[in-house]
């Protein structure tokens, strides 16, 4: 007699801490058992395959509204199709606030748009205007809806916060039990160098990197950490581009602070010289912070091995090369300042990291599971996600570790018309994705239905509780200032 509706049999099961040849029994979308010779009503043969927790991509931009009244090109349907094709089952995307706006109305609009998702999802709330109304009255309401992370930009025209307003966001996070995620680059320094580069006629895509050298990322990271330490609130530093920046995170961690570091495949595989490709091709590799060089990649892997950088997300950002709002919309001579930043990566994140990390011997399978699923799920309070254990959602990806694939844009299944990983040969590929017990992708064919994704409301959790270490013991965040 069968004990389980579905059994994934005979695979190499990987958790954040162990690797074992075992079966996984699934009932009603939940992992019911991990064991040997489990009896199922139906079986998925995983012989020769690696069985991993479904990917959790805690940093991707999907249908994000912009301050010109439009939105990212990537839609929830195409974005989640790409995610499932690439082995990712949960995404945390962004709800953006613009100056002069509140956050409650926009959150409702983001929830409405995400109702077409095929992956499970949550949001980071971007704060670009730390007004009294938002800080003291609206943030508690979005937290009550299950949004537990606030996102801050320390650069970008129209989005960046100065120190005063950043501190107010940190204080709001402390009052409401949120994590703050931070884009760390120095707005004023980038602005100054950009104006000088444009004055010198140095406008091609490669000068994007010149506008934002390493020390301005390092300075902003140091400042973000110091201010978060003053307010006593946990932060995650987004998209760390190199070891010099990760060292700021490491120093904070050595002091016992709740500071975490994220990086992305582009900071492990792409370089500033990609932005110098012939013609306008370099625009495809423009993102912020800018990709560095090959020596930086080696430093990044070391920071991953040490655990300083413990999450690898995609920072999937939705701009095509050729589209009305895309990279080339300003014409072939557009200055780097006017080219939209960001690159797609939802569909490639897991395969690129598996190939460059596991297949090349830089990380082991358990580290891969932690970086792509377990750690982001824990850090962001997705308690049902990120781990293969009884009681967790049956979000599972089967990787063929020997499968060799050359990445093409068609394989990504996103709406964007290019991938920055075009032509990359990878070893290891996701062949089946299961989301809450249902086969959502098999052999590259996405089977999930739009609207089958679920909103993941996040409650309070210990990992992001303040340390209780305030300068002079004085809690300034308790005051409406
Ligand atoms: O260039 C990037 N990273 N674009 C996406 C927005 C952001 O800064 O994360
Ligand atoms: Zn960013
Ligand atoms: Zn981003």
Ligand at shortest distance from the CA of 266: 1
Dist. CA 198–CA 124, nearest whole Å: 34
Mean pLDDT of 417-437: 98
What local confidence, expressed as pLDDT, does residue 332 receive?
87
Q: Which residue among 74, 182, 239 is best mutated to probe the pocket of ligand 1, counting the most ligand atoms within 8 A of its Cβ?
A: 239
pLDDT at 1 over 90: no
Dist. CA 264–CA 349, nearest whole Å: 8
Mean pLDDT of 301-307: 98
How many angstroms does the Cα of residue 10 sit away from the middle of ligand 2?
A: 41
Ligand at shortest distance from the CA of 124: 3
Task: Determine whether the shortest distance from the Cβ of 317 to ligand 1 is under 6 A.
Answer: yes
The CATH code of domain 55-367 reads 3.20.20.140
Backbone angles phi, psi at 452, to 5 degrees: -85, -10
Dist. CA 455–CA 208, nearest whole Å: 36
Task: Determine whether the shortest distance from the Cβ of 342 to ligand 1 is under 6 A.
Answer: yes
How many angstroms does the Cα of residue 393 sit away from the middle of ligand 2?
A: 29
343-391 pLDDT, tens per residue?
A: 999 999 999 999 999 999 999 999 999 999 999 999 999 999 999 999 9
Beta bridge partners of 151: 126, 181
Task: Determine whether the shortest distance from the Cβ of 288 to ligand 1 is under 6 A.
Answer: yes
What local confidence, expressed as pLDDT, does residue 67 receive?
83
How many angstroms does the Cα of residue 24 sit away from the middle of ligand 3?
A: 34
Dist. CA 180–CA 195, nearest whole Å: 30
Looking at ligand 1, which residue's alpha carbon is closest to its atom 4?
342
What local confidence, expressed as pLDDT, does residue 474 receive?
98
pLDDT at 318 over 80: no
Mean pLDDT of 47-74: 95
Other Cβ atoms closer than 10 A to 389: 12
Looking at ligand 1, which residue's alpha carbon is closest to its atom 2?
342
Task: Determine whether the shortest distance from the Cβ of 287 to ligand 1 is under 6 A.
Answer: yes
Looking at ligand 1, which residue's alpha carbon is closest to its atom 8?
288
Angle at 376 between CA 370 and CA 379, to 5 degrees: 115
What local confidence, expressed as pLDDT, does residue 270 receive?
98
Task: Determine whether the shortest distance from the Cβ of 59 to ligand 1 is under 6 A.
Answer: no
- Paired tokens of 94: 């962004």
Task: Determine whether the shortest distance from the Cβ of 66 to ligand 1 is under 6 A.
Answer: no
Domain spans of the chain, in order of start: 55-367
Spell out the SS3 assignment of the chain. CCCEEEEEEEEEEECCCCEEEEEEEEECCEEEEEECCCCEEEEEECCCCEEEECEEECCECCCCECCCCCECCCCHHHHHHHHHHCCEEEEEEEECCCCCCCCHHHHHHHHHHHCCCCCEEEEEEECCCCCHHHHHHHHHHHHHCCCCEEEEECCCCCCECCHHHHHHHHHHHHHHCCEEEEECCCHHHHHHHHHHHHHCCCCCCCHHHHHCCHHHHHHHHHHHHHHHHHHCCCEEECCCCCHHHHHHHHHHHHCCCCEEEEECCHHHHCCHHHHHCCCCHHHHHCCCCCCCCHHHHHHHHHHHHHCCEEEECCCECCCCCCCCCCCCCCCCCCCHHHCCCCECCCCCHHHHHHHHHHHCCCCCHHHHHHHHHHHHHHHCCCCCCCCCCCCCECCEEEEEEEEEEECCHHHHCCCCCCCCCCCCEEEEEEEEEEECCEEEEECCEECCCCCCCCECCCCCCHHHCCCCCCHHHCCHHHCCC
Dist. CA 226–CA 424, nearest whole Å: 39
Residues ≥6 apart with Cβ < 8 Å to 3 = 25, 32, 33, 38, 39, 40
* For the CA of 287, the nearest atom of ligand 1: 1
Mean pLDDT of 300-312: 98
Q: Which residue among 151, 238, 317 is best mutated to probe the pocket of ligand 1, counting the most ligand atoms within 8 A of its Cβ?
A: 317
How many angstroms does the Cα of residue 241 sit away from the middle of ligand 3?
A: 13
How many angstroms does the Cα of residue 143 sit away from the middle of ligand 2?
A: 22
Looking at ligand 1, which residue's alpha carbon is closest to its atom 5?
342
* For the CA of 341, the nearest atom of ligand 1: 1
Beta bridge partners of 7: 25, 43
- Do the beta carbons of residue 349 and residue 313 sit within 8 Å? yes
- Tell me which residues have their CB within 5 A of the ion that is ligand 2: 183
How many angstroms does the Cα of residue 345 sit away from the middle of ligand 2?
A: 14
- Paired tokens of 86: 């690439």
Beta bridge partners of 439: 434
Q: Which residue among 211, 342, 416 is best mutated to probe the pocket of ligand 1, counting the most ligand atoms within 8 A of its Cβ?
A: 342
Mean pLDDT of 69-92: 96
What local confidence, expressed as pLDDT, does residue 192 receive?
98
Residues ≥6 apart with Cβ < 8 Å to 200 = none
When the pLDDT of each residue in the chain is averaged and rounded to a whole number, the result is: 97
* For the CA of 183, the nearest atom of ligand 1: 8
What local confidence, expressed as pLDDT, does residue 70 receive?
86
């Amino acid at each position: 007699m069968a004990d389980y509706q579905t059994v994934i049999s005979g695979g190499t099961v990987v958790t954040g801490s162990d690797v074992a040849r075992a079966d996984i029994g699934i009932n009603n979308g939940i992992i019911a058992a991990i064991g040997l010779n489990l009896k199922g009503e139906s079986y998925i043969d995983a012989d020769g395959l690696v069985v991993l927790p479904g990917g959790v991509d805690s940093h991707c931009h999907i249908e994000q509204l912009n301050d010109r009244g439009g939105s990212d090109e990537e839609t929830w349907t195409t974005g989640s199709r790409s995610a499932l094709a690439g082995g990712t089952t949960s995404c945390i995307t962004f709800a953006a606030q613009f100056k002069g706006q509140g956050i409650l109305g926009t959150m409702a609009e983001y929830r409405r748009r995400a109702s077409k998702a095929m992956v499970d999802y949550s949001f980071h709330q971007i704060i670009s205007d730390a007004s009294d109304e938002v800080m003291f009255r609206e943030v508690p309401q979005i937290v009550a809806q299950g949004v537990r992370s606030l996102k801050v930009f320390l650069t970008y025209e129209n989005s960046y916060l100065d120190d005063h307003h950043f501190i107010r966001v940190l204080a709001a996070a402390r009052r409401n039990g949120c994590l703050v995620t931070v884009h760390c680059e120095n707005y004023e320094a980038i602005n100054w160098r950009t104006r000088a580069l444009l004055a010198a006629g140095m406008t091609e895509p490669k000068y994007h990197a010149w506008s934002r050298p390493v020390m301005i990322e390092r300075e902003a990271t140091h400042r973000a950490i110091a201010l978060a330490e003053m307010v006593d609130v946990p932060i995650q530093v987004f998209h760390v581009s190199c070891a010099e920046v990760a060292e700021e995170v490491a120093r904070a961690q050595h002091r016992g602070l709740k500071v975490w570091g994220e990086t992305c495949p582009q900071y492990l595989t792409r370089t500033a010289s990609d932005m110098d490709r012939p013609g306008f091709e370099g625009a495809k590799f423009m993102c912020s912070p800018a990709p560095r060089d090959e020596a930086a990649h080696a430093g990044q892997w070391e920071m991953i091995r040490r655990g300083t950088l413990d999450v690898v997300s995609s920072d999937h950002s939705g701009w095509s090369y050729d589209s009305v709002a895309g990279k080339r919309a300003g014409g072939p001579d557009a200055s780097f300042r006017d080219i939209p930043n960001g690159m797609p990566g939802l569909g490639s994140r897991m395969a690129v990291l598996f190939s460059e990390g596991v297949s090349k011997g830089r990380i082991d399978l358990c580290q891969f599971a932690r970086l792509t699923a377990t750690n982001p799920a824990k850090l962001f309070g997705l308690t049902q996600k990120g781990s293969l254990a009884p009681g967790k959602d049956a979000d599972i990806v089967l990787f063929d570790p020997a499968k060799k694939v050359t990445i093409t844009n068609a394989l990504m299944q996103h709406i964007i018309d290019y991938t920055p990983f075009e032509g990359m040969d990878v070893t290891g590929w996701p062949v089946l994705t299961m989301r809450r017990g249902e086969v959502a992708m098999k052999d590259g064919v996405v089977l999930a239905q739009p609207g089958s994704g679920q909103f993941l409301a996040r409650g309070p959790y210990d990992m992001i509780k303040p340390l209780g270490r305030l300068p002079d013991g004085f809690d300034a965040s308790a005051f409406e200032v």
